[in-house]
Every structure is written in C-alpha cells, then in structure tokens.
Structure 1
C-alpha cells in the first residue's frame, strides 16, 4: 500500500486562534430627505455673525445683504463637527437593533432555499449645515446639528450569537435654501453607504508559521550624480 505524503512545511504548526468571523456582509445605500419651512417646527437655529436666527424668514432676511450665497451640508457628530467616513470601524451613525430577529425562508437564484434572519434597525445621526458667501467664507452655520432617524430592515445570515456591526463607508449631502417673498424653505438630501456585517468570535485550528520582522530598508543617499548625460529616446531618435 502506498503511503500518503503530506507537504507540510517544517516551520509550520497547527495552532488554535480566536478570531472574528464574518457570517454575512452586504452594502446598502440609504437616502434621508428633510424639508423645513416656516410653517414647520424648525429643529435648528442658525448662528450668523454672532446673532441667532430662529426662523428661516429671519435667516433669509439676514442673507439679503449678500450678493450670492451657497449652502453646504455634511454628516456630523452630535457636536456639529464634520466626521470622516471610511472602512474603519467608526460609529458616527448610531445603528440600534430593534425587535426580535425573525427567520425568513428565501429562494436563491439557483433554486435552493435558505433560511435567513430579518433584522430591523434604527439608524440615527446628525447633519451640519453652513452657508457661505461668494468668497467661500462661512457667514451662517447651524447652532446645533440637525438630527435624523430612519428604520432599515435587512435579510442576513444572523444566527443567534452573532453581533450586528454597521459603519458608514461613504456620505454625501446636498442642501438647498429657498428665499422667496412667499416661501422660505430648506431642503436637505443625505446619502449614506452602509457596510452591514454579522460577526461572532470563533476558535479556528489553522496551519500557521511564526512571523519574524523583515530586514530594514535604509534610504541610500547619493549626493554625486553618476549619470553624466541625460537619457536618450532611441525609439524615436536617431532610429528614425
């Protein structure tokens, strides 16, 4: 009988590690649209050159002194500071799981059926707004950031024992201020890209090898040039 050959490197060994396993991972774009008029209760006040404008009409009256203004909005923390987005584990947007996870049987494109969990969440965050003059100088800004909230439901592989981890990989915001004689309105449109993962700590047995530091690469400083002539372009001249 032939013997089985194992091509194991002599430097490797079987080890047991504790690591974070991803059970499911999806990306979702969500849109949050907010509209405020003088007829609605404004959850925001604007600071303009040391004074506070409490209504959109007051804000528009203050801005009459400027030839041209633009409106900028951004995802912010609860203090109104702009926040960075990316794939790092950030929690600038609060995502809270609400209710119980419900099993749902779905049919895959290949015809197979699989049981997933319906996960309902409450997504909350803040938006900052600033108004700039034609020299891009901030003349007004929100005294306190504007809160927003939305509910999102996901179908995920989320068995009992897994944790929900959500962070924002991209945020884009657009705002428009309408100052007319018969209407004063602020429209805000926020788009968020959510990275949604279900995770759990697991113990895995793997074939591994101990790591060692690499050799340091030192920058070689050359003060005296070795090339006496600039390089040619032989494909062009004098070949042709």
Structure 2
C-alpha cells in the first residue's frame, strides 16, 4: 500500500495585511421628482394627511459569506488614488472609500395609498489609514458593506413641503490582501512527472514579499478579567494619601471601595475599561471629603501568574485621571497599578497604587492580601494563545 504522508508543501493563498471595521452615518436632504411632488401636493390638497414615508435598503448579507457580490444599490468602492505618508515612523497608505446607496423610498397618504416610489442616489466617502505597502494598488484593497439601515425624517402634513431627509447607518470593513506563497504541512497531490528540466536563460532577482505592518494583527492578551462589585468595606485595610492631597488617611471601616473593570474582553485589549470609586463615610463630620473616582484612560497589556489550587493574579498598569469630591482638591492625571486576585478557596480581592507622572505615590490601597470580594464579582481567566497551542 502506498502511503500518503504529511510533508512540507508550498501553497498560494491570500494574505491579509490589514483589516479594519468602521461605521459612517449620513443625513441627506432628498428632493422629490416632479411626478412625486405633484402626487404629494394632490394628497395634501384633498386632506389625505398625515403622510407616511418608508425607507428600504438592500440586504447586504452581514459578515458571511466573505465573497458575496455587492448589490448595485449598495456599493462600496475604493478610489484608485492611494496617498502614502510616514506615520508613527512607518510608511502607511491613506485610501478613500466611496459609498453609493440607492434606498427605496415609498410615500403613502393617510389612507395607505402609495403615492409614489423612487430611489435617490446618496453618496458619502471616508478616508482611512491602512497597511498597503508598495507596490500595492487599489486592487489590493477591498471594501464591503456589512450592515446597512435607513430611516426618514419628514413633515407629515406636507406643508409647506415634505422636507424629506434620509438617514443611513453604514457598517463596513476594509481588507488589504495579496497572494503569497506559504510552506505548510500537507499530503501529496497526484500526478506528475514530466521531469525534464529546462535551464533558465537568465538569473531572476531575489524575491521578497512586502513586510507586514507591526500593528496588525493585534497582540492577543495572555489573560482576561471582569470585575463588578458593590461598595465594599475591606476589613483591616486603609487607604493612604500623599500629604499633598490630604493630611490624614482613610482608616478601615471609614470608607467603601467599588470597582468596575473589564480587561481584555474576548482576549483583546481594545475596549478595556477601569473605574475605581472610593466614598468617605465620615463626611460631613470629617474635616474634608476624601471621596474620589479614578478612571483609566490608557491601559497596558496585563500580566497574569497562577499558583495552581491557590490563586490567579492579574497586574495591569497604565494612566488615568482622579476626580475628587472635595472642590478644593484639583483633579489629577496619574499612573496606576491595579492588582486583581482570583482566590481558589477564599473570597477574591484587589489593590491599587496611584502615582503622579514622576512615579511618586499619591494614593495606595493595599487590599490584595485581604479576601473581601465575592467570587462571582471578580473573575480572572487565562486566554488560549498561539504559543499555548504550539507548545
């Protein structure tokens, strides 16, 4: 029996150099045709108001299939002109996509009688920065409408005119592709041979594919976390302040701390959020209201460590803003370190250190060593990445 073993093979496939999702909204005034304007005027004169206008758009099909043809009434076209600039130290491409949408507009009188139907042409464009290195052209850039919705705004009485406006919401994707050759493990294909080798008449130059831009695909997170707690008073833990903020600290039992955070949802750092709220329980009897809210504005890639059967710890750093309840204390830009602890047997916990931009501590909450968060309110999980799969 002849074996069909797996071995190295070279295949030609489309490579994705960049892939962008975006959305655009339009609000366009629409002029009626003479026939439609006359039909509307006749309905208004006969008292058949209020009028009703509907707007219908083609079914663009959604994300799948990937190669579905465009509807002629909902087109996304890439301009042949590509502008190239050096942005963030690398040469990138600026492309313009043009949307041409022809929705079906129906106008009805108060009796439900169709007065007229027509398809206005609505055009809109958007410029985007993509990775499309030389010698790519617009033939390497593909635009596809993913979702399309339509709404109308008009004067129901038709007086002094219909004043028709059509609103479109367009969700689309831009993908930059080029055919490449990859070495893969595969089984034999048959047949061949014709084993006569014809010597080359000339020496070909060394072939190189354009380099992939370093911002796509995005790095995958090693771990992810979700936190949504009620205001809690951790036992035996104080919040210490720098003297430039408050002369005293918040002792255990004198404050509540609430944390709302979502880090690396779907194992992707984009869209991560952190909000930490501390309320001073001694106000108004205290000398100052030491309540504050911290909101992260930039969040770095988290790191996670796991001790099997004991705990999983996530550490996140970045920057943000602290807003104080006391009007005498100015809001401050800060750097932060947040620690989340998912305990196996005990309740969970978290900790914060907020510093100024020179890394001098401003606010410290060392709560990571005290179990005080219900298990369902704080979850830290591992993300399955390519290095996990290939060992």
**TM-score interval w.r.t. the shorter chain?**
0.5 to 0.7
Q: How many residues align?
A: 177
- Alignment partner, residue 151 of structure 1: 125
Alignment pair present for 1:94 and 2:75: yes
Separation (CA, whole Å) in 2 of partners of 1:63 and 1:22:
60
* Post-superposition offset of 1:61: 2.1
Asked whether 1:123 is paired with 2:99, we answer: yes
Secondary structure at the counterpart of residue 82 of structure 2: strand
Q: Could you give the per-residue CA deviations for residues 164-184 of structure 1, whole angstroms, max 9, x where no partner exists? A: 111111111111221343343
Secondary structure at the counterpart of residue 58 of structure 1: helix
Who is 1:27 aligned against? 21
- Pair 1:119–1:192, CA change in 2 (3 A): same
Alignment-derived partner of residue 177 in structure 1: 154
| Residue 132 of structure 2 is aligned to residue 161 of structure 1 | no
Query: Runs (4+) of structure 1 moved beyond 4 Å?
Result: 132-135
Give the distance between the partners of 1:59 and 1:118, measured in 2 at CA.
50
Q: Does 1:139 align with 2:117?
A: no
Q: Aligned ranges for residues 47-66 of structure 1 at < 5 Å?
A: 52-55=35-38, 57-58=40-41, 61=44, 64-65=47-48
Counterpart residue number, 1:74: 56
**Shift in CA distance, 158/121, structure 1 to aligned 2, threshold 3 Å:** same
Preserved CA contact (<8 Å) 1:172 1:192: yes
Which of 3, 8, 14 aligns to 2:8? It is 14
For structure 2, the 5+ residue unaligned runs are 189-391
Cα pair 2:97 2:143 within 8 Å, conserved: no
More strand per residue = 1
2:41 counterpart SS class: helix
Query: Aligned partners of 1:97, 1:200: CA distance in 2, in Å?
Result: 16
Shift, 1:134, TM fit:
7.5
Is residue 41–residue 158 contact of structure 2 (8 Å, CA) maintained in 1?
no
In 1, are the aligned partners of 2:51 and 2:158 still within 8 Å (CA)? no
Structure 1 gaps of 5+ residues are: 1-9, 37-41, 46-51, 76-81, 108-112, 211-240
In the TM superposition, residue 57 of structure 1 has moved relative to its aligned partner by 4.8
TM-score by length of structure 2 reads 0.40
**RMSD after superposition:** 3.1
Look up the match of 2:90.
114
SS in 2 for 1:100: coil
TM-score w.r.t. the length of structure 1 is 0.62
